[in-house]
């Protein structure tokens, strides 16, 4: 404990110094065009709008800002207290008081000054307009949170591990700011009228709407309510994507399929494609005027139908889009099953089918459950596929979109629909937790584990190939259509070959001074998208996997609520996330609209749950004795994570990096509300091209993005590397009868 307390001391000293220097030099307030676009770096000392804390107090009379300075000095003075309990209690109280001060001050600011009249009477009116928290305020918040965590560590909480307590505290604060706060501001609209006053009539009227809960389809009617349609679609999509993802993972790891590398590449393709592009490709194939539909109609003499437009078409597109996510989650879990356990089963005369059903498959349960949950939530939150293929069969995400931006203009209805969607996703989350509770799936321990994975039963292998091979062919056809569309003049009408779409999008020239001129119409959004995606991807992976470590390896009060909060950002449609971010961050205390930071924050906390669920599934297979051995050798939690846990989580790290990078490029539902003229993302730009009828340029841009994403994904895989478990990573080729006889038959012969 003594060496842990010493580490807390020097961390506390560093935090105190950084906080003090930051408060003296950085602007506490940001009024216009300052902190979040980093404009204050050049001349903030000469600008009253960007004054540091000392000038805010001395020149502008904001005497209440002396409170954080005094709190920080008090935190530094606790260093000289002798008793650890007293020192920890004082430090945690100072940190909590500082955080509370920032919360109260921030929520009390609006565009017209103080929102609480007693603050204006106490402190006077705000000068210089409508300030938002600036760099000094943000830094002060971070320091106060860390001081609170260090105080708890000195009191012996979590065995005095300052890293774990600090990580938990910072994650709780970040989730509160970027998940609870914006979603809460959105849900408040369910009980407000247009003038902002309390009005519950909108909530009661919408929650009882028959178009949401109707069961007419069960009694001979045309259709059921939108809630039941969405729930049924999500269940079918989760089942289909999980089944196919498991089949792909088994083919890639447990068979002698000759094109395994190509298979891994092919399973990633649907996830790196803008969602509406897959929908357009399906329409060109199976729509009323599609190639396959017209061929079938001419062959049979029947009238072409519109069967694709509805739940069936959405289901096909969603399974095509979300199977790669299931594969990325399941591949590490399937590889992590211990071959020695399978060999022990066959040694006890179990055949391959019994070994797979009783040993291998139960050990894959965490991955299967997490893949199903992610597929269910992805289907619930999907916007692009229902928008293109839904027709008159709307789902919750599209109904929310039209309730806000359509002719309805009913924020209360959108909030009610979001509440219903959240209820469905949280119910699925509880069911998954109940299924996995009380079970142990650890298969990777500190002991040697050599051997070969058992081969699949012959019948199961045939069935898996029957599912996988047609799906591979179907995926190749879909992407053949997408690539073909970029080289024809008018997709589906004039199929003469041309490269003018690529020239228009990505042309490059030279200016008079010899400098390169990126003259193509797509370059601006392309570079912005790459910058945002490459920043958000490692942040998403780091936050997600750290959270998974805390959920699996640490026990603390409110852990289940913490996990619920993380899934909330993933469960709510991107449409609602985008609108809620606009409502929350278009006003003080954190004005971020129109900046790159709001896009990065949206991507990190929207995509983080995939890293969390993948990390939880992979970490459930790591025996806790590995952590205990490292801690016994006097390593702290940070060193244990870096040296022991992370090398064994390479599949989960790669999955988190790939998914977060790709979703930052292909996301549309949230991004379309958050882009600006300066920071325009590729998907929003492509949507504008489609709206203007420039389908060729849109497809050419999408094709180029696919190639770029494949290149970056390959770079991620080389950077992360493969997990090494000191196993042979091969599939047993001996017949079940021979393997079942191995030591027993030899003993009889002897």
Average pLDDT over every residue of 612-619? 75
Burial class of residue 599, CB neighbours in 10 A (0-12, 13-18, 19+): buried
pLDDT given for residue 235 in this prediction: 93
Structural element, H or E, at residue 489: strand 488-490
Q: Which two tokens stand for residue 680?
A: 């325009």
Helix (H, G, I), strand (E, B), or coil: what is residue 552? helix
**736, pLDDT greater than 80:** no
Distance from C-alpha of 357 to C-alpha of 341, rounded to nearest angstrom = 13
**233, pLDDT greater than 90:** yes
**308, pLDDT greater than 50:** yes
Mean pLDDT of the chain: 76
453 backbone dihedrals φ, ψ, rounded to 5°: -65, 145
pLDDT given for residue 157 in this prediction: 81
**743, pLDDT greater than 50:** no
Q: CB under 8 Å to 222, separation ≥6 — which residues? A: 216
User: pLDDT tens across 361-384, in order?
Assistant: 888 887 888 888 888 888 887 877
Give the dihedral of Cα atoms 129, 135, 136, 138; nearest 10 deg.
100
Query: What is the DSSP code (8-state) at residue 622?
Result: B
Say if residues 275 and 354 touch (Cβ distance below 8 Å): no
Average pLDDT over every residue of 208-212? 85
Average pLDDT over every residue of 397-425? 79
Q: CB under 8 Å to 741, separation ≥6 — which residues? A: none
pLDDT given for residue 366 in this prediction: 79
User: pLDDT tens across 501-511, in order?
Assistant: 888 888 888 77
Average pLDDT over every residue of 339-365? 78
What is the secondary structure of 400-437 as a DSSP string?
Answer: HHHHHHSSS--HHHHHHHHHHHHHHHHHHHHHHHHHHT
CA nearest to 610, candidates 424, 425, 426, 373: 373
Task: Point out the least confidently predicted range of 73-77, 80-84, 248-252, 681-685.
Answer: 80-84
CA nearest to 149, candidates 726, 556, 625, 499: 556
30 backbone dihedrals φ, ψ, rounded to 5°: -130, 120
pLDDT given for residue 240 in this prediction: 92
CA nearest to 709, candidates 570, 526, 574: 526
Q: How many residues are present in the chain?
A: 750
Instruction: Kindly report the pTM of this predicted structure.
Output: 0.73
User: pLDDT tens across 486-531, in order?
Assistant: 788 776 667 788 888 888 888 888 777 777 778 888 888 899 889 8
Task: Point out the least confidently predicted range of 68-72, 152-156, 275-279.
Answer: 275-279
Distance from C-alpha of 12 to C-alpha of 146, rounded to nearest angstrom = 8
**550, pLDDT greater than 50:** yes
pLDDT given for residue 158 in this prediction: 77
Distance from C-alpha of 321 to C-alpha of 267, rounded to nearest angstrom = 9
Say if residues 128 and 144 touch (Cβ distance below 8 Å): no
Helix (H, G, I), strand (E, B), or coil: what is residue 606? helix
Q: Measure the CA angle with vertex 174, ends 171 and 180; round to 5°.
A: 115
**26, pLDDT greater than 50:** yes
Distance from C-alpha of 19 to C-alpha of 136, rounded to nearest angstrom = 9
Average pLDDT over every residue of 383-411? 78
pLDDT given for residue 681 in this prediction: 87
Burial code (b: 16+ CB inside 10 Å, e: under 16) for 73-102 equals ebbbebeeeeebeebbbbbbbbbebbbebb
CA nearest to 370, candidates 418, 315, 441: 441
Distance from C-alpha of 216 to C-alpha of 223, rounded to nearest angstrom = 6
pLDDT given for residue 744 in this prediction: 38
Distance from C-alpha of 203 to C-alpha of 695, rounded to nearest angstrom = 41
pLDDT given for residue 408 in this prediction: 64
pLDDT given for residue 567 in this prediction: 66
Band of residue 236 on the pLDDT scale cut at 50, 70, 90: very high
Q: Which residues pair with 114 in a beta bridge?
A: 109
Give the dihedral of Cα atoms 694, 700, 702, 707; nearest 10 deg.
-170
CA nearest to 99, candidates 61, 160, 149, 52: 149
Average pLDDT over every residue of 601-608? 85
Rg (CA), the chain: 28
* Residue position matching structure tokens 């194939």: 285
SS3 content of the chain, % helix, strand, coil (to 5): 70, 5, 25
Average pLDDT over every residue of 438-465? 65
Higher-scoring residue by pLDDT: 161, 463: 463
* Residue position matching structure tokens 């619930």: 380
Distance from C-alpha of 703 to C-alpha of 223, rounded to nearest angstrom = 37
Task: Point out the least confidently predicted range of 334-348, 497-511, 656-670, 694-708.
Answer: 334-348
* Residue position matching structure tokens 């970056």: 712
pLDDT given for residue 44 in this prediction: 46
Distance from C-alpha of 317 to C-alpha of 311, rounded to nearest angstrom = 10
CA nearest to 688, candidates 537, 505, 431, 530: 505
CA nearest to 626, candidates 641, 644, 642, 639: 644
For the chain, what percent of residues have pLDDT higher than 70? 79
Helix (H, G, I), strand (E, B), or coil: what is residue 509? strand
Helix (H, G, I), strand (E, B), or coil: what is residue 664? helix
Say if residues 725 and 651 touch (Cβ distance below 8 Å): no
Average pLDDT over every residue of 166-182? 86
Q: Which residues pair with 605 in a beta bridge?
A: none
End-to-end CA distance of the chain: 57
Say if residues 468 and 248 touch (Cβ distance below 8 Å): yes
Task: Point out the least confidently predicted range of 24-28, 508-512, 646-650.
Answer: 24-28
Average pLDDT over every residue of 623-627? 72
Say if residues 268 and 321 touch (Cβ distance below 8 Å): no
Band of residue 548 on the pLDDT scale cut at 50, 70, 90: confident
pLDDT given for residue 431 in this prediction: 79
Q: Which residues pair with 113 in a beta bridge?
A: 110
**653, pLDDT greater than 90:** no
Average pLDDT over every residue of 71-88? 79
pLDDT given for residue 407 in this prediction: 61
């Amino acid at each position: 404990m003594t060496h842990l307390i010493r580490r807390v001391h020097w961390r506390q000293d560093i935090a105190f110094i950084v906080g003090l220097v930051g408060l003296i030099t950085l602007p506490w307030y940001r009024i216009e065009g300052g902190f979040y676009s980093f404009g204050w770096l050049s001349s903030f000392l000469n600008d009253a709008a960007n004054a540091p804390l000392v000038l805010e107090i001395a020149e502008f009379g904001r005497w209440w800002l002396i409170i954080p300075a005094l709190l920080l000095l008090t935190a530094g003075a606790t260093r000289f207290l002798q008793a650890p309990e007293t020192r920890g209690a004082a430090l945690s109280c100072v940190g909590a008081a500082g955080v509370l001060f920032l919360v109260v001050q921030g929520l009390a600011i609006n565009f017209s000054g103080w929102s609480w009249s007693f603050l204006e009477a106490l402190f006077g009116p705000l000068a210089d307009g409508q300030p938002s928290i600036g760099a000094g305020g943000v830094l002060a918040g971070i320091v106060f949170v860390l001081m609170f965590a260090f105080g708890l560590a000195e009191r012996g909480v979590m065995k005095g591990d300052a890293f774990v307590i600090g990580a938990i505290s910072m994650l709780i604060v970040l989730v509160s700011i970027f998940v609870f706060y914006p979603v809460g501001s959105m849900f408040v609209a369910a009980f407000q009228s247009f003038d902002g006053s309390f009005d519950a009539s909108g909530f009661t009227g919408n929650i009882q709407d028959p178009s949401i809960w109707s069961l007419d389809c069960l009694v001979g009617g045309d259709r059921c309510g939108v809630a039941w349609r969405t729930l049924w679609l999500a269940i079918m999509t989760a089942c289909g994507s999980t089944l196919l993802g498991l089949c792909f993972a088994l083919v890639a790891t447990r068979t002698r399929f000759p094109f395994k590398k190509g298979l891994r590449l092919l399973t990633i393709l649907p996830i790196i494609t803008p969602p509406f592009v897959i929908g357009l490709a399906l329409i060109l194939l199976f729509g009323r005027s599609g190639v396959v539909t017209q061929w079938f109609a001419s062959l049979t003499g029947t009238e072409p139908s519109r069967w694709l437009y509805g739940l069936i078409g959405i289901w096909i597109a969603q399974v095509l889009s979300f199977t790669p996510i299931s594969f990325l989650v399941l591949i590490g879990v399937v590889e992590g099953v211990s071959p020695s356990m399978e060999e022990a089963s066959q040694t006890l005369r179990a055949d391959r089918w019994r070994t797979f059903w009783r040993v291998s498959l139960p050990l894959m349960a965490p991955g299967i459950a997490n893949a199903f949950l992610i597929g269910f939530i992805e289907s619930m939150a999907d916007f692009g596929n229902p928008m293109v293929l839904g027709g008159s069969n709307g789902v919750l995400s599209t109904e929310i979109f039209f309730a806000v931006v359509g002719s309805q203009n009913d924020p209360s209805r959108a909030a009610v629909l979001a509440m219903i969607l959240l209820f469905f996703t949280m119910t699925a989350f509880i069911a998954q937790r109940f299924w996995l509770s009380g079970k142990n799936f650890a298969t990777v321990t500190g002991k040697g584990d050599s051997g070969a994975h058992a081969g699949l039963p012959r019948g199961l292998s045939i069935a898996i190939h029957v599912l996988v091979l047609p799906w591979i062919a179907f995926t190749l056809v879909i992407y053949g259509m997408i690539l073909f569309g970029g080289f024809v003049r008018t997709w589906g009408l004039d199929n003469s070959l041309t490269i003018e779409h690529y020239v228009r999008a990505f042309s490059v020239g030279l200016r008079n001074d010899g400098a390169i001129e990126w003259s193509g119409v797509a370059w601006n959004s392309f570079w912005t998208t790459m910058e945002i995606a490459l920043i958000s991807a490692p942040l998403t992976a780091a936050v997600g996997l750290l959270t998974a470590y805390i959920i699996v390896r640490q026990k603390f009060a409110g852990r289940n609520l913490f996990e619920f909060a993380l899934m909330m950002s993933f469960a709510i449609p991107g449409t609602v996330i985008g609108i809620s971010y606009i409502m929350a961050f278009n006003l003080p205390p954190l004005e971020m609209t129109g900046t790159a930071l709001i896009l990065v924050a949206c991507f990190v906390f929207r995509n983080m749950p995939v890293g969390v669920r993948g990390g939880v599934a992979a970490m459930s297979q790591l025996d806790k004795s590995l952590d205990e051995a490292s801690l016994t050798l006097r390593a702290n939690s940070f060193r244990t994570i870096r040296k022991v846990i992370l090398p064994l989580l390479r599949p989960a790290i790669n999955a988190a990096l790939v998914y977060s990078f790709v979703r930052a490029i292909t996301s549309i539902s949230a991004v379309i509300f958050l882009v600006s003229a300066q920071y325009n993302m590729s998907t929003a730009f492509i949507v504008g091209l489609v709206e203007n009828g420039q389908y060729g340029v849109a497809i050419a841009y999408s094709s180029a993005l696919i190639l770029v994403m494949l290149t970056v994904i390959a770079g991620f895989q080389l950077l992360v590397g493969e997990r090494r478990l000191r196993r042979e990573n091969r599939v047993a080729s001996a017949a079940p009868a021979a393997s079942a006889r191995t030591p027993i038959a030899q003993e009889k012969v002897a």
